[in-house]
Structure 1
Amino acid sequence: MTGQTGPAPESNEPAHDPEVLQLAAKVFDLARGGDTDTVAAYVDAGVPANLSNDRGDTLLMLAAYHGHADTVRVLLDRGADATRANDRGQTPLAGAVFKGEEEVVRVLLTAGADPAAGHPSAIDTARMFGRTELLTLFGA
């Protein structure tokens, strides 16, 4: 049926426009680097809070993994999903546990992240790396 118009199908992938791809790469780098104010400004201007890259890593995953608690808070405040796993089944919480980022772990737990979710889960990750303080925090 040609000629029909309607809403564009929902996709988490940016359009293949080089400028859009360049902008997405920049925002991922900002999240990875913990540039909280700039990430917030981009999301406030319309970049999806749950934007993910070609591996399924969201802005939140990158900020959590790299230990940027303030950026994690800002993304959560703007609707980022604390429970969303990447394409390998890893959650932002498990990433923060792997890196030993206790403040990020606490922020994600407050936002409803499940320490038993994902593969490996945050609990499994804490056990693998002997992070007993985090296991205590999880009640495991």
Structure 2
Amino acid sequence: MERNEPPDPEVVELAHRMFDLARDGDADSLLAYVDAGVPLEMTDPDGNTLLMLAAYHGHADVVQRLLDAGADVDRLNDRGQSPLAGAVFKGEDLVVSLLIGAGADPDLGTPSARATAAMFGRDNLLT
């Protein structure tokens, strides 16, 4: 494919499907695609990874399975936000716990998860 050619519509459709599976919490389907070769670190137009979308939408099972598959716990989106900060913002206690347990850095990103917790009075999520 030449650089100026539009992407294959089937590839675009597959990417949209992957992001929807992460948002909707369909761990089995999403991980089947990842196991079949869909990139674990693929991003949407805003730089959100599958892990970011699952974390933000509170899908602990998807988050755990993506972490088990090797997802980068600290990958920032294009706005400099981390999956941990997104989970803190949404008050997703279990997801926060999983991300911290996987080594997520609470001081990474803008705003960081620590700053987000302080902003919304959720400091207890990071302890």
TM-score normalised according to structure 2 size:
0.93
Unmatched tracts of structure 1, length 5 or more: 1-14
User: In the alignment, what sits opposite 1:28?
Assistant: 19
Cα deviation for residue 132 of structure 1 reads 2.9
Q: Deviations over 1:13-66 (max 9, x none)?
A: xx8111000000001000000001111101000011111111100000000000
Counterpart of 2:34 (choices 32, 40, 43) is 43
User: In the alignment, what sits opposite 2:95?
Assistant: 104
Task: Report the number of matched residues.
Answer: 122
TM-score normalised according to structure 1 size:
0.85
1:120 aligns with 2:111: yes
* Rg larger in structure: 1
2:81 match: secondary structure: coil
User: In the alignment, what sits opposite 2:3?
Assistant: none
1:88 match: secondary structure: coil
User: In the alignment, what sits opposite 1:55?
Assistant: 46
Unmatched tracts of structure 2, length 5 or more: 1-5
Q: Deviations over 1:113-138 (max 9, x none)?
A: 10000000000000110113124x1x
List 4+ stretches of structure 1 deviating above 3 A: none
